[in-house]
């Protein structure tokens, strides 16, 4: 094996796990899962069959990544955060044909105990605060908090809040990296790294 598996973890035949990834205590990876290189799946993580996880993804303890969740490179999933895949579940109605796709784009952070309602896209390098509930798409670099979550600002690739307004025009340089960001209307772009 080119990855580490704790003796208590279960990895079903057919699962693809990349080089230097780690699967820790009591985790279960289903047969159809595709997991990239240098990932860390903490204790008690579940990964479903129809799941793709990119490279260098950190999934902390007690997270279930259900079918139809697609996670890009460099994503952080905080402890006990929640994905869903059915919008209106009922135990007495089977809705496996109604799963909604959820996309978490490169570099996004999903804080501890946040909930991602299925069918949304979390933009690149967005940061979802601890305990937030996401029920709509999140723009790239957005800082989201609350229940339901609202955008309260913009976050740099480095992970520090920028002093730009939620909408308008402007630029700001990250103090830590020198990266320059351009605000145009209600979207933020990294224009110079």
Residue ranges of domains in the chain: 4-163
Contacts of 1 (CB under 8 A, 6+ apart): none
pLDDT band at residue 51 using 50, 70 and 90 as cut-offs: very high
The residue behind tokens 């059915």 is: 86
What's this model's pTM, rounded to 2 decimal places?
0.97
pLDDT band at residue 62 using 50, 70 and 90 as cut-offs: very high
Which residue in 182, 153, 181 sits closest to 165, CA to CA?
153
CATH class label, 4-163: mainly beta
Residue 17 CB coordination number (10 Å): 24
The residue behind tokens 């089977």 is: 94
């Amino acid at each position: 094996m080119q990855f580490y598996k704790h003796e208590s973890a279960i990895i079903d035949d057919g699962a693809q796990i990349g080089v230097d990834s780690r699967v820790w205590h009591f985790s279960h990876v289903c047969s159809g899962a595709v997991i990239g290189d240098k990932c860390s799946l903490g204790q008690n993580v579940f990964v479903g069959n129809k799941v793709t996880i990119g490279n260098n993804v950190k999934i902390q303890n007690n997270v279930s990544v259900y079918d139809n969740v697609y996670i890009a490179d460099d994503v952080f999933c905080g402890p006990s955060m929640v994905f869903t895949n059915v919008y209106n579940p009922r135990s007495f109605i089977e809705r496996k044909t109604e799963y909604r796709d959820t996309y978490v784009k490169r570099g996004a952070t999903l804080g501890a105990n946040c909930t991602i309602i299925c069918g949304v896209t979390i933009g690149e390098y967005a940061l979802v605060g601890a305990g937030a509930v996401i029920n709509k798409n999140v723009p790239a670099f957005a800082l989201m908090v609350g229940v339901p979550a609202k955008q309260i600002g913009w976050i740099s690739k480095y992970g520090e809040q920028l002093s730009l307004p939620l909408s308008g025009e402007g630029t700001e340089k990250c103090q830590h990296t020198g990266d320059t960001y351009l605000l145009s209307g209600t979207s933020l772009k990294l224009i110079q790294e």
